[in-house]
Structure formats: structure tokens, C-alpha cells
Amino acid sequence: MSPGFQGRPRSAEPALPPGQYLTEDFPVLSAGPTPKVPLDTWEFVITSETGVEYRWTWDEMMALPQETVTVDIHCVTRWSKRDTDWRGVSLDTLLGGVDTAAHYALAHSYGGYTTNLPLADLRGARAWVAHTYDGGPLHAEHGGPARLLVPHLYFWKSAKWVRGIRLGTTDQPGFWETAGYHDYGDPWREQRYQGD
């Protein structure tokens, strides 16, 4: 090897999941119209597999411990956005007092959208009910007043306009999953569609 040879320069940027490209924009993709949810009627409900409900109003949610996270997000339509800033309540906090033997969750939203997740993916500081983006209130087109934020999965799993989670002992597919999208949706394994 020649003196001073360093090889090819390495990128300072961390790798993207396969098939993804970077964007500075925050594209808006929705399965239906954007619901308008007044804060005085907004609520978040976790329903256990036995039907027990745990409820929070907007004011009660804001009174819980808040966390600020900076994460990369990845859409199944192949865009990725780096270093997005969010603030919200960890699902660890919300699930902390819930008595459950469930292994699955079905998130549901104002407007009727649903998506399924393993309950383990909502724990361990990996998921939040986010109400703030980039230092300001989360805009309705991006899921405000609050959305689920599960950044280690494709972004359709981060349900916009989230209103609750139903826990279960069996996996129940949501809106996109019944239309052929992958039940799990790991961007690093390119789990876009059933069979991937």
C-alpha cells in the first residue's frame, strides 16, 4: 500500500434502510380526510384484552412526564427523514399501570384508521404519543393533535390522530395490513408487503 493511502472516504452519514432516499420535506400521505379533533374532546384510551379501559384527557396527557426525542423516520413509499424532533408521552408511561397479558396492540385513530403492532414494540422507550413536532404543536396534516410515534418501523405504523390502543392476545391486522402491507413493517428488512 502506498504511504498516505486512506482508501475511499467514508460517509459521515449513517446508513439508510434499503431502498430509501433522504428528503428534507415532510411529505403528507393519508388514507382519508384529515379529521379535526378539538382538544377539549380529545381523549386517549387503552383497552385491555379483558375490556378494562384506561383513559386520559388532553390535560391529563399533558400533565404526564414528557419526553423529547430526535429520531429518523422512514415511509414505506421510500422516503426517509433524518433527525426529526418530537415531544410526547412514552408508551412505557401509559402502559405502566395497565394490567395485561396481551402480546399485541391495535392502534386506532380519529377518522377510523387502524394499525397493528406487537405490544413489545410499544415498550422499552421505542414508542410515544407525540403532540409536538420541531418545537411546535403537531399540525393536523401530520397527525395532530397527537399521533403514535414508532420510529423503528415504517411510518404507517405511527398512526396519525391516534385515539387509543386495544390490547389483545392475538394479532389483528389494521387498515393497510388488510390491504396487503406487511404485518410488522421493519424498514431495515424491507417489510413493505405481505411476503417480504
pLDDT in tens, 2-27: 455 454 545 566 789 999 999 988 87
- In this prediction the pTM is 0.90
- Convert 163-195 to b/e letters by CB count within 10 Å (16 or more is b): bbbbbbeeeebbbbbeeebbbbbbbeebbbeee
pLDDT in tens, 42-58: 999 999 999 999 999 99
Alpha-carbon span 72 to 145, nearest angstrom: 21
DSSP string, 35-85: PP--TTT-EEEEE-TTS-EEEEEHHHHHHS--EEEEEEEE-TTSEEEEEEE
- Write down the architecture of domain 40-74+87-172 according to CATH: Alpha-Beta Complex (3.90)
**All structural domains of the chain with their residue ranges:** 40-74+87-172
